Amino acid sequence: MEGILMKPLRLYLDTSVFGGCFDKPFMKDSLKIFEAIRQGRFILVYSELVDTELLPAPTKVKALPGTLPPEHVEEVQFSREAEELRDAYLSAGILTPDSLMDASHVATATVYRADAIVSWNFAHIVKLEKMRLYNQVNLQNGYGFLQIVSPREVSDDEEK
């Protein structure tokens, strides 16, 4: 919106977006988000969960977080509060314990009040029914609504 000064959106990127920067079908949209973070158009809400999942990743993927300006990155921890919310997702049957890390990402993004979680995970995160259920549990537990989007939706917004 012209004339209105808006703070940059705070985006929680799950690990799939980092890997997407080096995976042909996901590369263009993933790289656009990282470029927008470098330019200060977004703030990355960066979780230690991503560090854990990146441990076995190729060196170029592991190096990606270090290429971002620290002033555009907000580092967060997987807290007891996020653990309790994650467990509420599992108790509600949104995901099974096999998808513990996916539930942990959504819970962390919610607890730290990210404007959105961005993911290429269409099975467990970016799926209409899952989104509805995550937000139902979020509201029942005193949290706000969490936007859940794919990188394509974020990069499309940047082109306007």
Cα–Cα distance measured from residue 36 to residue 67, given in angstroms and rounded to the nearest whole number: 13
Cα–Cα distance measured from residue 12 to residue 110, given in angstroms and rounded to the nearest whole number: 9
Q: pLDDT (tens digit, 9 = 90+) per residue, 15-74?
A: 999 999 999 999 999 999 999 999 999 999 999 999 999 999 999 999 999 999 999 999
Which one-letter DSSP state was computed for residue 43? Answer: E
Give the count of domains, the chain.
Answer: 1
Domain-embedded: residue 153:
yes
Where would I find the H helices in 39-117? 48-54, 59-63, 80-91, 100-111
CATH of the domain at 96: 3.40.50.1010
Q: pLDDT (tens digit, 9 = 90+) per residue, 57-85?
A: 999 999 999 999 999 999 999 999 999 99
- Report the SS3 class of residue 115: coil
Cα–Cα distance measured from residue 115 to residue 10, given in angstroms and rounded to the nearest whole number: 5
Domain-embedded: residue 150:
yes
Domain-embedded: residue 3:
no
Domain-embedded: residue 1:
no
pTM of this prediction? Answer: 0.93
Domain-embedded: residue 4:
no
Q: Show the domain range for 65.
A: 9-158
Q: pLDDT (tens digit, 9 = 90+) per residue, 102-133?
A: 999 999 999 999 999 999 999 999 999 999 99
Domain-embedded: residue 60:
yes
